[in-house]
Amino acid sequence: MQPDVLVYAALVMISCALFVSLVRVVRGPTLPDRVVAVDLIGVSSVCLMLLAAAENKEPAFLDAAVVIALLGFLGTIAYARYAERRGRQ
């Protein structure tokens, strides 16, 4: 198999994961379900940017991917702190 075919197959699979997680954000019954889905959207978008950087040989996508990964991590930490304080009350 050629590497281009594998990259396009990975793009399709990650796009499907993005769609499924978007559905979970809209229909999620609880807040933690929605937070996990938003985190999955962040991780999937980072993967898409890395694949785009590999396909186009453009290093600028790597910088954007690092920024989005850091923002997703900070968002997860913020939700964890919120859930911890909410549980004490």
- H or E stretch covering 32: helix 31-56
The CA-atom distances, in angstroms, between 49 and each of 31, 57, 66, 88 are 27, 11, 10, 39
The percentage of the chain sitting over the pLDDT mark of 90, rounded to a whole number, equals 52
Find the mean pLDDT for residues 23-34: 90
| Number of structural domains in the chain | 1
The dihedral sign for the CA sequence 34, 36, 42, 44: negative
| Domain housing 15 | 3-88
Q: How confident is the model at residue 13 (pLDDT cuts 50, 70, 90)?
A: very high
Q: Does pLDDT of 16 surpass 90? A: yes
pLDDT of residue 2: 80
Q: How confident is the model at residue 84 (pLDDT cuts 50, 70, 90)?
A: confident
Cβ atoms 41, 18 nearer than 8 A = yes
pLDDT of residue 32: 86
- Look up the CATH number of the domain holding residue 30: 1.10.287
3-state per-residue secondary structure call for 2-23? CHHHHHHHHHHHHHHHHHHHHH
Q: What is the pTM of this model?
A: 0.83
